[in-house]
């Protein structure tokens, strides 16, 4: 059972909802631990088809809970590295190694580590009223939870620098326009987006999507020739799946495929 998140599993799709709305779902030690545990539970469940992450209330996630970081008396300093190693990193390792697709539906503001969290997911949808802010520089910190790695890869170094150094707020529309996220949707359609994304993942050729993630992720460190090799290896494996067989049958029979994720 969970205290600070909601976890549900339906039709093979796990839904994790950050659930401390009065604090804009800012991250506590407990919440980080619970998200990690939920990702483990999802991954261990039979026939997982995908993971959807969202937030309760008007915010998605305001980053580190600053109530846990009370100002220190003069002369004292805080070592922040331990929390990154033992709290943030284990969560991110689980998120990034999830074979099934992970979709984030950003319902409201995503700030600091909350923004990194969203960007770590494979695909990000955001409500039109949601905002993205690299809050770190405003409190004298550096982007963490992988933010310094994701940002330049998603939008290029020029935009990443602007976002991270100035910490200006981006609207969901701006985020979608510069390629930071996949899609900006009207607020009124957010619940429908959650349901549609879940249904899409539940009916997807899950092994192919896992291999697709693997290929796209590997591309940054591969030459084109290495990528050809990887594609051939992955495509070989796909050729033996039930879903490929079904995809070919459905095409020949002019009907939508019924993928089982195997």
Residues forming contacts to ligand T3D in the complex (CB under 6 A) are 23-24, 26, 62-67, 69, 80, 83, 109, 111-113, 133, 135-136, 139, 141, 144
Vertex 25 angle, CA 62 and 137, to 5°: 15
Supply the minimum distance, in Å, between the C-beta of residue 124 and ligand T3D. Answer: 17
Q: How far is the CB of 184 from ligand T3D (least distance, A)?
A: 18
Residues 57, 192, 153, 167, CA torsion sign:
negative
- Give the Cα separation of 149 and 116 in Å (integer): 9
Q: Which is nearer to ligand T3D, 116 or 206 (CB)?
A: 116
Judged by CB, which is closer to ligand T3D: 148, or 219? 148
Q: Token digits for 217? A: 């992720």
- Which has the closest alpha carbon to 201: 50, 4, 65, 40? 50
3-state secondary structure of 12: coil
Q: Report in angstroms how near the CB of residue 134 gets to ligand T3D at its nearest.
A: 9
- Taking the complex as a whole, the smallest distance from the CB of residue 181 to ligand T3D amounts, in Å, to 17
Q: Which is nearer to ligand T3D, 34 or 65 (CB)?
A: 65
| Closer residue to ligand T3D (CB): 24 or 170 | 24
- Mapping DSSP to helix (H, G, I), strand (E, B) and coil, where does residue 126 land? strand
């Amino acid at each position: 059972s969970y205290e600070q998140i909601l976890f549900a599993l339906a039709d093979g799709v796990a839904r994790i909802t950050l659930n401390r709305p009065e604090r804009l779902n800012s991250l506590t030690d407990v919440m980080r631990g619970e998200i990690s545990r939920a990702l483990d539970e999802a991954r261990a469940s039979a026939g997982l088809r995908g993971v959807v992450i969202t937030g309760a209330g008007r915010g998605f996630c305001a980053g580190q809970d600053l109530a846990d970081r009370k100002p220190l008396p003069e002369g004292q300093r805080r070592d922040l590295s331990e929390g990154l190693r033992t709290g943030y990193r284990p969560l991110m390792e689980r998120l990034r190694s999830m074979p099934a697709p992970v979709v984030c539906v950003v319902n409201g503001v995503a700030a600091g580590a909350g923004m990194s969290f969203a960007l770590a997911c494979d695909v990000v949808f955001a409500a039109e009223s949601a905002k993205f802010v690299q809050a770190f520089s405003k409190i004298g910190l550096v982007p963490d939870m992988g933010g310094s790695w994701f940002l330049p890869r998603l939008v290029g170094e020029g935009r990443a620098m602007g976002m991270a150094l100035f910490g200006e707020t981006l609207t969901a529309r701006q985020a979608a326009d510069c390629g930071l996220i996949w899609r900006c949707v009207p607020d009124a359609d957010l619940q429908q987006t959650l349901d549609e994304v879940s249904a899409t993942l539940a009916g997807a050729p899950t092994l192919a999507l896992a291999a697709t993630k693997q290929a796209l992720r590997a591309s940054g460190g591969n030459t084109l020739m290495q990528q050809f090799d990887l594609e051939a290896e992955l495509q070989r494996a796909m050729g033996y799946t039930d879903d490929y067989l079904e995809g070919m049958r459905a095409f020949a029979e002019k009907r939508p495929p019924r993928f089982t994720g195997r």
